[in-house]
């Protein structure tokens, strides 16, 4: 097996001589064939000479199988006259010719065949000839000039021409192809996981809404029964202090405890008994009552902000009014020419809710959000653009920015106990 090495100086008695092909083989082993470029912008662009059958190639450099080529000034190439009825496609090529009679790199017009459906001529690439295509141009039948719109630049097509790159690095197209494949795979995995999470979240939300509806009905039925005579009132006390009603009361406590154990925990402790102290009730019921009282307090505080705002609009309202009554009174404001819109908004991220596209600038906003614990969260905004955002909750801070056609609610941080990212809102002019 022969061993080769290049390049070294000659010495006395040891002459080292090399051929031009030796240098071409060296450069051809580390650099690809193509156009040399500056910031991926190659020279040797092709343009059409107006009113003629000529094309012009600008200055530029190329490497062809390790051989260097340079065009220092714009060079004009002449295309032959087309046939009267058929078009053809010519290519402008840079051709390396290794035949002993040639040994050069020159620009040529590679003429195509005339046809009803012409195609560009194939490039010759063998042991003696190697061509790269700078451009192709359609030579239309029975014409004496070329059209710029018929010229197609092919310099950046790697299979036809391309830019010079290092053969010891990964070609750009190969790397891009591998990256695109990897990115598509990861994108599909992320999308699949996101879809699964969204489906699970929607299912959990629906289940919770169903539980809330079922509990509301159970609560209404239970409370109605209590109003029919099950509570121990002062007037019902007998000689033994209401002993006759004691069994009924214990039965109701047991039923409430059963509801609590199934997850229905919003009970009210506003009704008291003269014969049984609240501390004596089961602990689960007491916890439920405490949570319900917190939710009721938040709702009352919210009404304490809404009612004065409605009154300020000319419609009398009181914090003791129910939400249904307050909503009706808000409707009365609307009847006087004030506009009102309500809807549902989802967070653009974990912290921001944004509503736009309203036909008016809001002056009062009411936001309601459910929580896992059952302590619903209420926010009320009343005032000008730079007024502080009043929050009727100790669980989470917020900031409100009023805009000409809507508003933006930004939370100080996202709470894990929130059921979902959606909120119910009402905006008033």
| pLDDT, tens digit, 9 for 90 and up, residues 116-133 | 999 999 999 999 999 999
**What percentage of the chain has pLDDT greater than the value 70?**
67
Higher-confidence residue of 376 and 363: namely 363
- Among 429, 390, 428, smallest CA distance to 409 is for 390
pLDDT of residue 89: 97
Mean pLDDT calculated for residue range 303-326: 77
- Among 116, 107, 109, 50, smallest CA distance to 88 is for 116
The DSSP call for residue 98 is: -
pLDDT of residue 338: 65
pLDDT at 35 exceeding the cut of 90: yes
- pLDDT per position as a tens digit, 322-369: 766 777 777 666 544 567 788 887 776 657 778 888 888 888 887 777
Mean pLDDT calculated for residue range 50-67: 94
> Model pTM?
0.40
Distance CA 408, CA 427 (A): 12
Residue 227 preceded by cis peptide, ω within 30: no
Distance CA 319, CA 343 (A): 24
pLDDT of residue 316: 86
pLDDT at 41 exceeding the cut of 90: no
Q: Residue 302 class from Cβ within 10 Å (0-12 exposed, 13-18 middle, 19+ buried)?
A: buried
Half-sphere exposure of 97 (CA within 13 A, CB side): 13
Mean pLDDT calculated for residue range 222-233: 54
pLDDT of residue 378: 66
Higher-confidence residue of 100 and 421: namely 100
């Amino acid at each position: 097996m022969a061993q080769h090495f290049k390049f070294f100086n000659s010495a006395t008695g040891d002459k080292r001589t090399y051929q031009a092909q030796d240098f071409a083989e060296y450069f051809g082993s580390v650099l690809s064939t193509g156009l040399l470029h500056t910031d991926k912008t190659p020279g040797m662009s092709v343009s059409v000479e107006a009113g003629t059958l000529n094309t012009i190639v600008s200055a530029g450099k190329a490497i062809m199988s390790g051989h260097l080529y340079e065009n220092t000034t714009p060079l004009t190439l002449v295309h032959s006259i087309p046939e009267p009825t058929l078009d053809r496609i010519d290519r402008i090529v840079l051709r390396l010719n290794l035949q002993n009679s040639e040994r050069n790199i020159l620009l040529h017009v590679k003429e195509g065949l005339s046809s009803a459906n012409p195609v560009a001529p194939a490039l010759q690439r063998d042991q003696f000839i190697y061509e790269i295509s700078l451009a192709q141009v359609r030579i239309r039948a029975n014409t004496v000039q070329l059209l710029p719109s018929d010229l197609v630049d092919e310099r950046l097509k790697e299979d036809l021409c391309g830019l010079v790159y290092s053969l010891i690095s990964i070609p750009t197209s190969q790397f891009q192809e591998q990256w695109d494949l990897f990115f598509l795979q990861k994108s599909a995995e992320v999308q699949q996981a996101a879809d699964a999470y969204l489906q699970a979240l929607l299912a959990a939300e629906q289940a919770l809404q169903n539980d809330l509806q079922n509990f509301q009905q159970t609560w209404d039925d239970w409370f109605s029964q209590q109003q029919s005579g099950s509570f121990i009132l002062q007037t019902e006390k007998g000689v033994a202090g209401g002993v006759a009603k004691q069994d009924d009361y214990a039965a109701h406590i047991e039923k409430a405890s059963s509801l609590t154990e199934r997850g229905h925990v919003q009970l009210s402790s506003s009704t008291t008994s003269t014969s049984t102290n609240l501390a004596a009730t089961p602990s689960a019921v007491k916890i439920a009552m405490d949570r319900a009282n917190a939710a009721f307090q938040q709702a009352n505080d919210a009404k304490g902000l809404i009612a004065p705002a409605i009154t300020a609009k000319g419609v009398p309202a009181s914090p003791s009014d129910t939400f249904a009554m307050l909503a009706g009174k808000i409707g009365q404001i609307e009847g006087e020419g004030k506009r009102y819109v309500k809807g549902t908004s989802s967070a653009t991220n974990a912290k921001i809710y944004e509503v736009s596209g309203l036909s008016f600038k809001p002056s009062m906003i009411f936001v309601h959000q459910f929580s896992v614990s059952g302590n619903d969260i209420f926010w009320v905004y009343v005032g000008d653009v730079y007024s502080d955002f009043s929050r009727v909750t100790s669980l989470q801070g917020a900031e409100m920015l009023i805009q000409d056609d809507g508003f933006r609610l930004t939370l100080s941080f996202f709470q894990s106990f929130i059921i979902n990212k959606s909120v119910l809102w009402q905006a008033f002019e």
